[in-house]
Every structure is written in C-alpha cells, then in structure tokens.
Structure 1
Amino acid sequence: MTLAEIFSSLFPEGHSVTVEDGLVGGHGPLGAKRLHVVGLDGNTALGVDGAIRLAAKVLAVIREAPGAPILVAVDSDSQRMSRRDELLGLNEYLAHLAKALLLADRLGHPTVGLLYGHSAAGAFIATALATRVLAALPGAHPSVMDLPSVARVTKLPLDTLREMAKSTPVFAPGLDNMVATGAVHAVLDPAAPLGPQIEALIAALPEGDIRDRLGAERGGRPVAQAIAARIAGG
C-alpha cells in the first residue's frame, strides 16, 4: 500500500497529514480520538535534519495533546551516511528521536509503529522500533542490517550468511523474520479498514516491552526472554 492508500483506509473522513521532504506529520480522526502521525515516506534516508524535525513533531504532541495516540509510519532507507551527518553527530540525533518516542510512551501516549515499506539500521531503530508495538503491512521489508553489510562486518561469506538466515531469524532481514523475533507485533490486513485495526492495537497495548516474550513464543528468539529474566532477577 502507498501512504495515500493507507491514509484513505485509516482516515475515511479525511485528515491533515502531509509529507514534506519525505517527512510525515499531521493528524486525523480515529474513533472518538485524534491520531497524530509522524514518520518517513518514499524510502527516505534519516539524517540529522530529519531526525530533529521528527523529534520536534513528537514533542509538540506531548505538549499540546496529552495522552493522544501517536502513529509512526515508516518507509525509509537507513540512516543518512554522509560526512556532514556523521560529523554533526548523527547517532545523537537518532537517539534523541528514539528518546522522544519513549518519553511519549512513558507519559501515556499510545505509540504504534506502522511499517509499510523498507527500513533499515539506525532509521529503523529510531522510529519503528522505538514504539510500544510495531505493526506492518504485507510487502514491508525491514532489516537491522542487510546481509551484504553483515558479511563485511563479520567477514563471513555472503552465501554462508544466506544459509544461516534460513534458520536464524534473529539477524536475518525480511518481514517474516521480524515477526518471528517479536520485533513486529502484528501484520495488518490491507483489505480491511485500517482504522479499526489500529484502534484494536491501541486498546490492547501490552504493559512494557514484550518483544522478548513474543520472540520466544514464535521461536525466533529462543533464549532472550530467559536471559532477560535472569538479569532482572539478579
């Protein structure tokens, strides 16, 4: 689905969401509430300028609409790997955006990610994975790191990594693997209205981060939950 199709399904009564320079912002009605939307469109790389503008949008919602739900729509490239962005401290800007979303969650704003295209690396972590739950549409293609990049870092042959990815979802790219690890909470039905599906996710938001539990239940992260429990228990 394109972003326009998503918003037509999500806001059949109309909305004020716009896209400028690949950055999404605005709101629309969702039941009796107003759903605020931020995000990235058009496979846009996330650099320092985009990260600070998206963080400002999130902080504005916190100030002006206490408790309002926030949808983070994501179709992005990875972080913008330019010399300028790196020299300006891109990692800190991405962390600021992620912390803005985590602050919203802590202050009672339901935060839901909606992955409808590509996303990878720092851009994926600072947007989609910084929400309380992450939903996706069929055809989305997320990755923390693509396999050619993993090959360069680990010095393992690409063919070896492709074979490993068939049985090890925790580092493998693709929607099915992200579902198996618990990173993606649910895959939505594009043939049905999206509004009720997003409302249902908000109504059933879990207490805290349950991605390790989902990963254990789905077989994609078989030991993360047990290790986290041991650490938490001292």
Structure 2
Amino acid sequence: MELTPLLDALFPRGHAVTRNDDVLGGTATTAVGEVTVIGTANKLEVGVDHALALAATVLASTRAHPQRPIVMLVDTAGQRLARRDEMLGINSYFAHLAGTLDLARRRGAPLVSLVYGESVSGGFLSFGLMADRIYALPEAQVRVMDLRAMARVTKQPLEKLQALSQSSPVFAPGVENYVRMGAVEAVWEGDLAQALVEALQAPVTGDQRRERGTARGGRLLARDVAAAVAAGEV
C-alpha cells in the first residue's frame, strides 16, 4: 500500500506525519488518543543519518510524553551499504536507535510496528522488530536476509537453502512464514484504524514470539531451548 492512503486508513481522525528523505516522523490521533509515528518509506536503505533522525523523534516523544504509544511504519530494503556509513560505525547508530526504543518501552510507551512495504535485514532489526507487537499487510515483504546472501555467509549451496525454504519457514521469506515463526503477530486486513486501536489496547505480556512460533509450527525448538538455557540445563 502507498504511504498516503495508508496514513489516511490508519489515522482517519487526522495526523501530522512528515516525510523527510523517506524518514517518517510526527504524531497522529486514534480513538484511544495521540500516538507518535516513526518509520520509513520508499524501501529506504537506512543509514546513520536516518537512524539518528528516527532516534531523535523517539527521544523527543519519551521526554515530552513518556507513556505515549509509538507506532512504527516499516518499508525498508535494509541498512545502507555505503563506505561512509560503515566507516562511521553504522552498527552503533542502530544500537542507539534500538536503545531509545527500549528506553521508551521501559518508561511505559507501547510499541507497535506495521510492515506495509519491505522489511529487510538491519533496516528492520534496528527499529521495526523492536516493537512489543509486530503486524503486516498482506502485500508486505518480510525477510531478514536474502537467500543468496545467506548462501554466501553460511557457505551453503544456494540450491540447498532454496530446498530448505520449501519446508522450513526459518529459511523462507514472506509474511506468512514470519507469522508461522511468531515474529509477525498477525496480518491486518479490512479496517486498519480499528486493528491499530485493538493493538494499542492489548495488554503487553512480554515476548511471546517463541510461544507463537511453537504453537504455529514455525519454530519448534526455540521455546524449549530457551527454557533449558534459562534453567541452566544447557
């Protein structure tokens, strides 16, 4: 979905969301009150400047309205693969952004993400995946790493990974596979404004991704392995 109709559908009561270099920031009105909005557009490759801009909006919201919900709209092709960004230490900028969101959460702000375009690699991990609840539109594309890149990193043949992706959602891109793994809580269709209100009103019960992944058959070992590690059995 294009950004303008998405904003209109999510916030029919009005919004003041600006777009600067494909970084989104501002506020919006919902049926349960004001929210802060951050995000990306046009498949933005997130670089150090973008990460700082997103973090600044989060910090301003946390300072002025500690418990105001933060809604993250995600459309990113990943982190910017540029020499300048790498030399500046893009990982530390992403860590800063993630830290601001953790601060907002600890001060009582609910965090909700909606993937409406692409969500790839570090551009997604650094903010969208930090939410308490992550949702997606049916046409969205979710993948942490392209299979070709995964083949280069793992030194496994691409054909082998492609075959594994047919049976295991861990290796496969696509919204439905991330729903099965529990990373995406649900796919939104129909009344997006009402779906957002329900997400904002839902109680925060901690990280339920392992439990959802087990129940949905997408990650069969993560819950039990994590429990064993926490109990000191591994």
Unpaired runs of 5+ in structure 2?
none
Partners of 1:83 and 1:201 lie apart in 2 by 39
Partner in structure 1 of residue 215 of structure 2 = 217
Aligned 1:89-128 pairs, distance under 5 A: 89-128=89-128
1:16-35 aligned at under 5 Å gives the runs 16-35=16-35
Residues 40-98 of structure 1 deviation map (CA, whole Å, 9 limit, x = unaligned): 00000000000011011001100011201110000011100111101100001011111
Aligned to 1:168: 168
Q: Is the 8 A contact 2:136 2:184 kept in 1?
A: yes
Cα deviation 1:144-165 (Å, max 9, x = unaligned): 1010101111222222211101
1:15 is aligned to 15
Q: Is the 8 A contact 2:112 2:132 kept in 1?
A: yes
Q: Secondary structure at the match of 1:34?
A: strand
Q: Residue in 2 aligned with 1:159?
A: 159
What do residues 15-42 of structure 1 show as CA deviations (whole Å, max 9, x unaligned)? 1011110100111111141011001000
RMSD: 1.1
Give TM-score, length-normalised by structure 1.
Answer: 0.96
Give me the whole-angstrom Cα distance separating, in 2, the residues matched to 1:11 and 1:131: 19
Deviation, 1:104, is 1.0
CA distance in 1, matches of 2:43, 2:78: 9
> Structure 1 CA distance, aligned partners of 2:171 and 2:47?
24
Instruction: State percent identity of aligned pairs.
Output: 44
The 8 Å contact of residues 132 and 205 in structure 1, kept in 2 or not, is answered as: no
Q: Which amino acid aligns with 1:2?
A: E
Structure 1 runs (4+) deviating above 2 angstroms are none
Q: Which moved more, 1:76-85 or 1:172-181?
A: 172-181
Q: Do the aligned partners of 2:67 and 2:110 also contact (CA within 8 Å) in 1? A: yes
Equivalent residues of 2:48, 2:85 under 8 A apart: yes
Aligned to 1:42: 42
Aligned residues: 232
Aligned amino acid, residue 108 of structure 1: G
Uncovered stretches (5+) of structure 1, i.e. residues with no partner: none
Query: In the alignment, is the contact (CA less than 8 A) between 2:161 and 2:171 conserved in 1?
Result: no
Counterpart of 2:215 in 1: which secondary structure?
A: helix
Cα distance in structure 2, aligned partners of 1:154 and 1:229: 27
2:41 is paired with a residue whose SS is strand
Is 1:51 aligned to residue 51 of structure 2?
A: yes
TM-score, normalised to structure 2, is: 0.96
Give the conservation status (yes or no) of the 8 Å contact 1:134–1:186.
yes
- Report the secondary structure of 2:167's partner residue: coil
